[in-house]
Amino acid sequence: MHIITIDPRALKDNPDDARRSRSSPQSDALMLATIRAVGIIQPPVVSPETDGGNGYVIQAGHRRIRQAIAAGLEEISVVVSDAADDGGAMRSMVENIAREPLNPVDQWRAIERLVALGWTEEGIAAALALPVRQIRKLRLLANVLPAMLDQMAKGDMPSEQQLRTIASASLEDQKQVWKAHKPKKDETAAWWSVANGLSKTRMYARDASFGEDLAEAYGIAWVEDLFAPADEDSRYTTQVEAFLGAQQEWMATNLPKNGVITEANTWGQPELPKKAERVYGKPKKSDHTAMYLDRDGKVQSVVYRMPEPKPAKGMAGEGRSVVTSAPRPDVTQKGLDMIGDLRTDALHEALQRAPIEDDTLTALLVLAFAGQNVRVDTASGPSGSFRNAIAAHAASLVDENGTLTFDRETLRIAVRSVLIEVLSCRRTMSNSGIVARIAGDMVGADSFLANMGTEEFLSCLSRQALEATCAETSVLPRNNVRETRAALVEHFTNERFVHGSARFAPDANELADWKARNEIVETDDVDDAEAPDDAPNVRDGDAETISEGFCEAVE
C-alpha cells in the first residue's frame, strides 16, 4: 500500500460500488466547498486494474473524486491498495456503512477548535457550505449546562429559539430547571418546558431613552443578540425592573413644561385626565404633554387639551348663588322649529337662484364649513378640532355687523386652511378618496413629496419592486434583497426618490369611473328657474366663473 499523485479524471469507477443512489445536491455542495477550501483530507483508495489495463479502479471515495474534478483539481493524492478477491465489494460496503456524521455537540467542539486556531465564523461557514447563522447557533452551546449537552449529543436538539432562551440563562438557573425537566433514560427532552422555565422578558437598548450613565447607575448589563440583523442595535437586558426604573428617571428629568407622567391602560393607551381631549394636530402653548411607557418599555408622549372652565351660572357677591326664575320666552320651542324650517327653505332657494359673485361663493363655502352641523374625519384631529380651526378663519371674513368683508389675501388664507383640514390621503377614516389626489395633482403636490429612498419605505417593497427601482438608477440588483435595499438607500442619500405609486395623478379608468358615478343629472326645474326681480345682489361687480374664482382664490 502506497500513495501516488494522479489526475482524478484518469481513475475508473468501480462497478461493484455499494453506493448506487445519487447523493443529495446539498451534500455534494458541502463536499465541493470543503475541497475548494482545504482540499481532500482523506485520500481515496484505488487498486490496479485486473483485466490487464494500466489504470486504477476506485475502491473508496467516488464522491470525493467527482467533487475534486468539479473543483478543477489537476492532481490528487490516492492510496493504492491491492485489489481484493471480491472486487472490493465488502470494502465499499464497510466504507459507506461505518461512517457516522458528527453530532451537533461534536460539531460545536470542532468549530471552537477552528476558532482557537484563527478561523473566523464566516471562513468556517464558507468551508463547510453552511450559513453563518448555523455556525453561530452551534456556538451557543458554549453557554449550555454540560448535563444538557450530553442529551443534545444524542441528537436530541432543541429548536433555535429554545436554544437561544436556554443559552441566555445562567448556568445556575439551567441547573435548577434541568433538574425538574430532565427526561428519563432513552426518552427525549421536553425542550419547550425547559425554555419556558428559563424564558425572561427582554428589554432592548434601541428602545431606551436613557444613556449609558443611567444604565451604569441602575446596573444594567447589555447582552448582544447574535441572531439579530447586523445593521441594528441588538443589545438587550433581562433586568426589566432596572430598565423601567431608568426610563422613569429619564422621563422625570426630561419632562416638558405642562407635562405629566402617566400610566398605560389595559389597551396600552395613556390614562389622561378626565374630560381631556387628545390633540393630533399642531399643539398650542397651553396644551399639556403626557409621557408614559408602552408595553415594550418605550417612552411615548401624547398631547392633550383640557376644556376651558365655564363661568358659574347665577353667581353673585362672595360666591353666593342667586336663584332666579327664567322668564317666559317670546317664542315657544315649536315656533323656533318653524322658524328654522322657514329660514332653511329661504336660504336654499337664495343659494340656488340669487346672483352671487364668485369670491362671495368661495367665502360662504369657508363659512359653511365652520357650521356646528359639520363633521369631517380629518387627518389633523377630531371633528371638533376641525370646526375650531375653520371657525377662526371664517370669523376673519365677517365684520362686527355680520357682513362679509374681506380682501383677496384673507380669502386665500382661509380657503387654503379649509382645504388643508378637509383633504386627506391617509389610509384612515379621514381619507378623502380620489378628490384629494385630483387636488394634489392640480396644485403640483408631487414636488412636495419627501424622499422615499429610505430604509423604512424601501423595506416595504418586494424584490420585484426593488429591482424595478434599480432599473431606473445606476444601482445593480444584488443576490440578497437586504443588500439591494442597502445599495438603494446609499444611492438615494443625495438624490430624491418618489415611488410611482405615491404620485397624485389618478388612473384614467379610476377617474372615469368616479365621474360616471357622480354625474349630475339636470332637471328642467333648475334650468328654467329665474331669479325674482327683487332678489338682492349679494355683492356688486362683474362675476367670473365659479371655477376661475375658486382657482384664483387658492393660488
Mean pLDDT across the stretch 59-85? 84
Same domain, yes or no, for 61 and 13? yes
88 in Cβ contact with 14 (< 8 Å): yes
Q: What does the radius of gyration of the chain's CA atoms come to, in whole angstroms?
A: 40
Same domain, yes or no, for 427 and 473? no
Residue 489, domain member (yes or no) = yes
Mean pLDDT across the stretch 122-133? 79
Q: Report which DSSP code applies to 312.
A: P
Q: In this predicted structure, which of 348-357, 409-418, 537-546 has the lowest mean pLDDT?
A: 537-546
What confidence category does residue 553 fall into, taking pLDDT thresholds of 50, 70 and 90? very low
Instruction: Count CB neighbours of 378 within 10 A.
Output: 25
* Residue, of 388 and 31, whose pLDDT is higher: 31
Phi/psi for 421 (5° steps) reads: -70, -35
Q: Which residues contact 104 (CB under 8 A, 6 or more apart)?
A: 138, 141, 152, 153, 155, 157
Same domain, yes or no, for 93 and 29? yes
In this predicted structure, what is the pLDDT of residue 546? 38
Same domain, yes or no, for 472 and 412? no
Residue 32, domain member (yes or no) = yes
Tens digit of each residue's pLDDT (9 = 90 or more) over 42-52: 888 888 887 76
Same domain, yes or no, for 376 and 300? no
Q: Which three cell numbers stand for residue 186?
A: 432513552
Q: Which three cell numbers stand for residue 319?
A: 360666591
In this predicted structure, what is the pLDDT of residue 17? 63
Domain CATH for 167:
1.10.10
Last residue of a domain, one of 308, 341, 372: 308
What confidence category does residue 243 fall into, taking pLDDT thresholds of 50, 70 and 90? very high
Burial per residue of 401-434, b for 16 or more beta-carbon CB atoms within 10 angstroms, e otherwise: eeeeebeeeebbbbbebbeebbbbbeeeebebeb
Tens digit of each residue's pLDDT (9 = 90 or more) over 353-393: 778 777 776 777 766 676 666 677 666 655 456 667 677 77
Residue 239, domain member (yes or no) = no
- Total of domains in the chain: 5
Confidence check: pLDDT of 541 > 50:
no
C-alpha 141, offset from chain centre: 32
Same domain, yes or no, for 93 and 40? yes
Same domain, yes or no, for 419 and 466? no
H helices within 25-103, ranges in order?
Answer: 25-38, 62-70, 89-97
In this predicted structure, what is the pLDDT of residue 211? 92
Same domain, yes or no, for 409 and 525? yes
Q: Which residues contact 352 (CB under 8 A, 6 or more apart)?
A: 526, 529
Last residue of a domain, one of 466, 484, 502: 502
Q: Report which DSSP code applies to 6.
A: E
> Which among 322, 306, 305, 303 has a CA at the least distance from the CA of 314?
322
Residue 405, domain member (yes or no) = yes
Same domain, yes or no, for 407 and 528? yes
Residue numbers of the domain that contains 369: 353-447+507-547
Q: Which three cell numbers stand for residue 108?
A: 460545536
Cα(525)–Cα(418) distance, rounded to whole angstroms?
32
Last residue of a domain, one of 466, 486, 502: 502
Residue 331, domain member (yes or no) = no
pTM metric for this prediction = 0.35
Phi/psi for 12 (5° steps) reads: -105, 145
In this predicted structure, what is the pLDDT of residue 540? 39
In this predicted structure, what is the pLDDT of residue 374? 64
Residue corresponding to grid cell 492532481: 75
Cα(62)–Cα(14) distance, rounded to whole angstroms?
8
Cα(505)–Cα(434) distance, rounded to whole angstroms?
9
> Which among 552, 436, 448, 449 has a CA at the least distance from the CA of 505?
436
- The DSSP string of 412-478 is HHHHHHHHHHH---SSSTT--THHHHHHHHHTTGGGGPPP--SHHHHTTS-HHHHHHHHHTSSPPPP
First to last CA, the chain: 97
Same domain, yes or no, for 492 and 514? no
What is the identity of the amino acid at 340? G
Confidence check: pLDDT of 544 > 60:
no
Phi/psi for 210 (5° steps) reads: -80, 165
Residue 171, domain member (yes or no) = yes
485 in Cβ contact with 458 (< 8 Å): yes
Same domain, yes or no, for 438 and 469? no
Helix (H, G, I), strand (E, B) or coil at 373: coil
Q: Which three cell numbers stand for residue 82?
A: 491491492
Cα(298)–Cα(24) distance, rounded to whole angstroms?
48
Tens digit of each residue's pLDDT (9 = 90 or more) over 113-126: 888 888 888 888 87
Torsion over CA: 107, 112, 113, 118 (sign)? positive
Q: Phi-psi region for residue 18, left (φ > 0), alpha (ψ -120 to 50) or beta?
A: alpha
Q: In this predicted structure, which of 92-96, 214-218, 252-256, 468-472 has the lowest mean pLDDT?
A: 92-96
Residue 207, domain member (yes or no) = no
What is the identity of the amino acid at 371? G
Tens digit of each residue's pLDDT (9 = 90 or more) over 307-328: 877 766 555 555 555 555 667 6
Same domain, yes or no, for 13 and 113? no
Residue 218, domain member (yes or no) = no
Instruction: Count CB neighbours of 334 within 10 A.
Output: 8
Strands (E), 20-158: 45-48, 56-60, 76-80
